[in-house]
Amino acid sequence: MNKYKYWLKIALFEMILIIFDQITKYWAAISLKGKNEFNIIKDVLCFHYLDGGNTGAAWGMLSGKTFLFVIFTLVAIAFIVKIMSNIFRLMRSDKSTKLVALNYVFATLMAGAVGNLIDRVLHQYVIDFIYFKLINFPIFNVADIYVTVSCFIIIVMCAFIISEDDFNNIISLKRNDSR
């Protein structure tokens, strides 16, 4: 496996996800801001621009702590890069597609983190506009979907698909070139 080609594919995949997230947020800002909600499925799902943005995390927790979120996100991204590097090292000896898939799932997680990081740095808040009205779920965005879905898939893969030895090697922070 060509190392540079592989990482180029991962980077391109992440860039596509980040660009899509940013385009949807731009669309929301110019199309929805100051307007009534736009129903996708009446009383179930709609686009509703969150005026003032989300200055916190999920459900507005730690609202106004932008600097804290930027630092936390940068640390999380560094940790994700380390995990992805460990997965790539394991892939050199185990050609299993499960490890390739896991790296793309972590790339999706990182794309979500970067998408919201861009908002925090540019606007001091995250642009949220997707509202699952049926259950009055907090308004969210595409990057949040990336994070939520990838975390769910990571949990399922680590619980049922990835071996315990591979899991321990993946999450290890020490450098291990033995595989």
- Residues of the chain with pLDDT > 90, as a percent, come to 73
Residue 21 bears catalytic tag:
no
Q: Is 74 contained in some domain?
A: yes
* DSSP tag of 138: P
Residue 43 bears catalytic tag:
no
Range of the domain at 85: 3-37+55-129+141-171
Q: Is 97 contained in some domain?
A: yes
Residue 39 φ then ψ, to 5°: -75, 130
Q: Is 66 contained in some domain?
A: yes
**How many domains does the structure of the chain reveal?**
1
- Residues of the chain with pLDDT > 70, as a percent, come to 93
**Residue among 43, 128, 165, 177 flagged as catalytic:** 128
Q: Is 47 contained in some domain?
A: no
pLDDT tens per residue, range 23-62:
999 999 999 999 999 999 999 999 999 998 888 777 667 7
**Residue among 21, 51, 119, 144 flagged as catalytic:** 144
Q: Is 94 contained in some domain?
A: yes
pLDDT, position 175: 64
pLDDT, position 177: 54
Q: Is 49 contained in some domain?
A: no
Can you tell me the mean pLDDT for 117-123? 96
The DSSP H or E segment spanning 4 is: helix 3-31
Q: Is 42 contained in some domain?
A: no
